[in-house]
Amino acid sequence: MDKPFAITLDVGSSLANHTGSWRTQRPVYLDRIPPCNSTCPAGENIQGWLYHAESGDYEAAWRVLVEDNPLPAIMGRVCYHPCEGACNRAQVDEAVGINSVERFLGDEALKQGWKLTPPAAESGKRVLIVGAGPSGLSAAYHLRRLGHQVRIVEAGPYAGGMMRFGIPAYRLPRAVLDAEVQRILDLGVQLELNTKVSDIRRTMQEGGYDAAFLAVGAHIAKRAYIPAGAAAHMVDAVSLLRSMEGEEKPMLGRRVVIYGGGNTAIDAARTAKRLGASEAIIVYRRTREKMPAHDFEVAEAMEEGIMIKWLSTIKRMGEGTITVEKMALDDKGFPQPTGEYESLEADSLVLALGQDVDLSLLDGVPGLEKKDGVVQVATNMMTGYPGIFAGGDMVPSERTVTVAVGHGKKAARNIDAWLGGKQYAPAPKHEAATFDLINQWYYADAPKTVRPQLDLVRRQTTFEEVVAGLDVTNALFEARRCLSCGNCFECDNCYGVCPDNAVIKLGRGNRFKFNYDYCKGCGICVSECPCGAIKMVPEPS
Amino acid sequence: MAFEQVKFYQTGTFTVGNRLLEPELRSVQADTTRTNSLNSGHRACQGCGEALGARYAIDAAMEATDNQLIAVNATGCLEVFSTPYPETSWQIPWIHSLFGNAAAVATGVAAAMRAKGRETTRVVAQGGDGGTTDIGFGCLSGMFERNDDVLYICYDNGGYMNTGVQRSSATPPAARTATTPAMGPEPGNVFGQGKNLPEIAMAHGIPYVATATVADLRDLEAKVRRAMQIRGARYMHILVPCPLGWGHASADTIRIARLAKETGTFPVFEAECGEVTSRLPIRKRLPVEDYLKPQKRFAHLFGPEPATATLARLQALADRNIRKYALLEET
């Protein structure tokens, strides 16, 4: 005992006192699924690639992006970005410009010549893909990366499907389309153009294919019976947009009327305007609220001087004139004829009334179910005939490029599983990162970067791209607006705010872990996590 | 503002760290090499604001002085929960003497260091609001008046919490404590009493006075760093919510401190030689109810018949702070 007077014990550290035993609840780290990811029809890990874009590592961002979608430069132009509609940031100020960052990454990849990752090993299986549209290309990419031999057979003269023959060049420059298609072909995907598959089972047998993915699209324009004189010039929107890809540009005249209210009608009207029409009038039988076309496209069209006659149907077409009947909405909101007529001067009439699918290649295939002009598929995208899968516009769906790309990915995963005699089981979905989990204090306000638009005059007269892209500085700015909902971005808040030093920082890229020996379960880390990546759970007994 | 405001649109500099920031621009608390002066295993309640505030401040002081620091502690929660004999949570030289004499002991330690020629070793005295505004006030005022080279930090949780939540001269008006019960015609602590110690310190004309909360870490660290650049008597007053005494959820400690600042109830500013030199502006002004409602010590104001007159008086106090310290103006 050489201790000083009245001292009987050695000095000890409070580390001997395991305060974790006080706890009734414990914090746990988790990844929640952010609204952008859960809304994306192509299943992109949007928050995941924005995370890399935020640090300026655009190649890493692009690589995460193309894990799910091989066409980012196209997506950045034609996707209707439901992700932005769901973005939590919209409730703080404005949604993150996800689509414009995606386009920036896509363009950067083309500029830098980044290549897709080739398959690690060959499986020895052969898969036939019918149709080189977004769905077929997406399936081809994913199947090839899984090691399968893939051959795309396309009826048309070019790859791209509706991206080429339906979407005007002012929205999707052909150089971009060609470059992203070529990058997929560079993985060793074979493409055979100008070949129509008329009997799928024979083609599969002759080629020795183990499975097939059909994505022929919907290319047959729907018709409506409109009495017309011999001199009347009537054309359907699908043919009009398709003929824009040929040498001879179509002749529509000075006054063009477009019949229909979908995005195709808008594309046709804007194309007519660019071909020199002084008047392009859309005739639609219902109201703007009921119009299936996307609102921003309608707005852009109207800015360009496209006129729209609401609540009107076309009764007949004579030489240089069209007779239109006015409609009125009934109690249930359906348009009913009123018997009032008026005449519109028109040199030509473009019908944009929707499209049907040519299903003749499936004639005689047993077990198939066709309904409303499309093929029914199971949740694994397989038709009623084993080994034949289908996706894109030819199955029941919303007909957009992004949905088609999503179908291609989903089908590829299921085909891969089917070829291996297995069932594809998607990973269980994480819980949703809703807005109430966001701690808004930690996010500063910043307006969305508005993509500079070409001036109106230029875009009315040329086919130059209407919406310009972001550059390096504002793309970074835009990416950094991401709230990283539900996914740790290593802000060190939990590490800093713990009154008990019970959070261990594992270093860059490795996030954090709790030291449950000392964590008292106060929950401050959960409250102060900006993005909702921690939750409290009852202490296991 | 005392620290550089880096504009990050994703997270501002409001977070503790930020992977997009240069390491030297991150806070001390983001660094794995921080001192952790108040280590794990201390016996503070769940969600203790004082434990958090003390680690924030002392870690920052350690960094600012190159780890040449001695801390003197008044009696109070901080001392009781960190050093039950023979254990200690402190990972720095630390001394406790009595409830009321922390400022005087610190003065003595500083004098001893000077006598030994160890001018680079700096001294911090710390205590709760009871040991500062009530019991240790005489020693503190003397330390100010003599301009002794000590930084005194008061962790203000508005009462004597570890002895059972009794009123102190820092308890806010209308708050319920064990000694100011929520009953009678004017329930809770009386209006017009108590002390505003930051202003009293300023009236001494000492070189540096600052207020801070546990909700603004970077501001707090910048003020400690500034204080350690100055010789002479310095005073910091840090608002540290107390889940036990204030009756709020343990997870809400930082949120409550943030609301105190955003409502204007607790003005965050710094002053040199008696003059205000900067303030932390309110980002989004909120009514005092937002601050009061989550706290059970103010629950009697929100019964079936809300005490509108009392709430109006509390709002008027906040409005006066906002006016007086120009808390709505961008700096």
B58 vs A380, B27, B198, B199, CA distance in Å? 60, 13, 19, 23
Q: Across all residues in chain A, what is the average pLDDT? A: 91
A-B CB pairs within 8 A amount to: 159
Pick from B18, B40, B250: CB nearest A501: B40
Mean pLDDT for A14-38 is 96
Q: Is A132 a residue whose pLDDT tops 90?
A: yes
Helix (H, G, I), strand (E, B) or coil at A29: strand
Asked if B12 has any chain A CB less than 8 Å from its own CB, the reply is yes
**A24: nearest CA in chain B?**
B46
What is the C-alpha separation between A535 and A523, in angstroms, rounded?
Answer: 8
Exposure string (b/e) for B194-209, b if CB count within 10 Å is 16 or more?
beebbebbbebebbbb
Determine whether the interchain pair A496/B258 forms a contact, defined as Cβ–Cβ distance below 8 Å.
Answer: no
Q: What is the ipTM of this complex?
A: 0.94
| Structural contact between residues B182 and B176, judged by C-beta atoms closer than 8 angstroms | yes
Close Cβ partners of A428 (under 8 Å, ≥ 6 residues apart): none
Q: Is B5 a residue whose pLDDT tops 80?
A: no
Token digits of residue B139: 């020693």
Residue carrying structure tokens 């363009």: A107
A442: closest CA of chain B, how far (Å):
5
Pick from B10, B55, B250: CB nearest A482: B10
Spell out which residues of chain B touch residue A94, defining contact as CB-CB under 8 Å.
none
**pLDDT on residue A460:** 54
Close Cβ partners of A457 (under 8 Å, ≥ 6 residues apart): none
Asked if B258 has any chain A CB less than 8 Å from its own CB, the reply is yes
**A508: nearest CA in chain B?**
B19
Count of H helices and E strands in chain A? 18, 22
Peptide bond into A447 cis (omega under 30): no
Mean pLDDT for A316-334 is 90
Helix (H, G, I), strand (E, B) or coil at B80: helix
Pick from A11, A15, A491: CB nearest B11: A491
What is the C-alpha separation between B59 and B229, in angstroms, rounded?
Answer: 15
Residue type, A6: A
Determine whether the interchain pair A499/B55 forms a contact, defined as Cβ–Cβ distance below 8 Å.
Answer: yes
What is the C-alpha separation between B261 and B170, in angstroms, rounded?
Answer: 16
Mean pLDDT for A473-481 is 81
Token digits of residue A105: 């990454």
Q: Across all residues in chain B, what is the average pLDDT? A: 94
Determine whether the interchain pair A530/B217 forms a contact, defined as Cβ–Cβ distance below 8 Å.
Answer: no
**pLDDT on residue A313:** 93
Token digits of residue A136: 């077929």
Band (pLDDT 50/70/90 cuts) for residue A333 is: confident
Helix axes of A134-145 and A174-185: crossing angle, nearest 10 degrees: 30
Comparing B2 with A297, which gets the higher pLDDT? A297
CATH T-level assignment (fold) for domain B23-324: Rossmann fold (3.40.50)
What is the C-alpha separation between A407 and A411, in angstroms, rounded?
Answer: 6
Pick from A16, A496, A520: CB nearest B46: A520
Nearest to A158 by CA among A128, A182, A186: A182
Residue carrying structure tokens 């019964």: B303
| Probe site for chain B from A96, A493, A508 (most B CB atoms < 10 A) | A493
B12: closest CA of chain A, how far (Å):
5
Determine whether the interchain pair A441/B55 forms a contact, defined as Cβ–Cβ distance below 8 Å.
Answer: no
Close Cβ partners of A15 (under 8 Å, ≥ 6 residues apart): B39, B40, B41
Token digits of residue B168: 């102190």
| Structural contact between residues A451 and A77, judged by C-beta atoms closer than 8 angstroms | no
Q: Is B1 a residue whose pLDDT tops 50?
A: no
Mean pLDDT for A62-75 is 97
- Domain ranges across chain B: 23-324
Comparing A231 with B51, which gets the higher pLDDT? B51
Dihedrals phi, psi of A512, to nearest 5 degrees: -140, 165
DSSP notation for B151-218 = EEEEEE-SSBTTTT-B--TTPPTT---SSS-S-SSS-SSPTT-S--HHHHHHHTT-SEEEEEETT-HH
Element (H, E) at A333: none
Helix (H, G, I), strand (E, B) or coil at A200: helix
Determine whether the interchain pair B250/A493 forms a contact, defined as Cβ–Cβ distance below 8 Å.
Answer: no
Determine whether the interchain pair B19/A490 forms a contact, defined as Cβ–Cβ distance below 8 Å.
Answer: yes
| Probe site for chain A from B13, B46, B282 (most A CB atoms < 10 A) | B46
B87 vs A16, B82, B107, CA distance in Å? 8, 8, 26
Token digits of residue A13: 């550290």
What is the C-alpha separation between A392 and A395, in angstroms, rounded?
Answer: 6
Pick from B9, B29, B36: CB nearest A481: B9
Count of H helices and E strands in chain B? 10, 9
Domains of chain A: 16-31+488-538 (3.30.70.20), 35-114+443-477 (1.10.1060.10), 126-219+357-419 (3.50.50.60), 224-353 (3.50.50.60)
Band (pLDDT 50/70/90 cuts) for residue B291 is: very high
| Structural contact between residues B41 and B84, judged by C-beta atoms closer than 8 angstroms | no
In terms of Cβ atoms closer than 10 Å to its own Cβ (0-12, 13-18, 19+), residue A178 is middle
Q: Give the range among A129-138, A451-460, B229-238, B299-308 with minimum mean pLDDT.
A: A451-460
**A27: nearest CA in chain B?**
B251
DSSP notation for A113-161 = T--PPPPSS----EEEEE--SHHHHHHHHHHHHTT-EEEEE-SSSSS-T
Asked if B116 has any chain A CB less than 8 Å from its own CB, the reply is no
B194: closest CA of chain A, how far (Å):
29
Determine whether the interchain pair B243/A502 forms a contact, defined as Cβ–Cβ distance below 8 Å.
Answer: no
**B28: nearest CA in chain A?**
A496
Close Cβ partners of B205 (under 8 Å, ≥ 6 residues apart): B273, B274
Spell out which residues of chain B touch residue A505, defining contact as CB-CB under 8 Å.
32
Spell out which residues of chain B touch residue A524, defining contact as CB-CB under 8 Å.
47, 52, 250-251, 253-254
B180: closest CA of chain A, how far (Å):
27
The C-alpha R_g of chain A, in whole angstroms, comes to 29
The C-alpha R_g of chain B, in whole angstroms, comes to 19
Mean pLDDT for A13-23 is 96
Residue carrying structure tokens 């001087």: A305
For A274, which DSSP code? H
Helix (H, G, I), strand (E, B) or coil at A172: coil
Residue type, B219: D
Band (pLDDT 50/70/90 cuts) for residue A95 is: confident
B32: closest CA of chain A, how far (Å):
7
Nearest to B129 by CA among B113, B140, B118, B120: B140
Dihedrals phi, psi of A43, to nearest 5 degrees: 65, 35
Q: Is A254 a residue whose pLDDT tops 80?
A: yes
Determine whether the interchain pair B9/A492 forms a contact, defined as Cβ–Cβ distance below 8 Å.
Answer: no
Mean pLDDT for B144-160 is 98
Mean pLDDT for B176-182 is 96
Alpha helices of A4-79 — where are they, by DSSP H? Answer: 35-39, 46-54, 58-66, 72-78
B283: closest CA of chain A, how far (Å):
9
Exposure string (b/e) for A214-250, b if CB count within 10 Å is 16 or more?
bbbbbbebbeeebebeeebbbbbbbebbbebeeeeeb
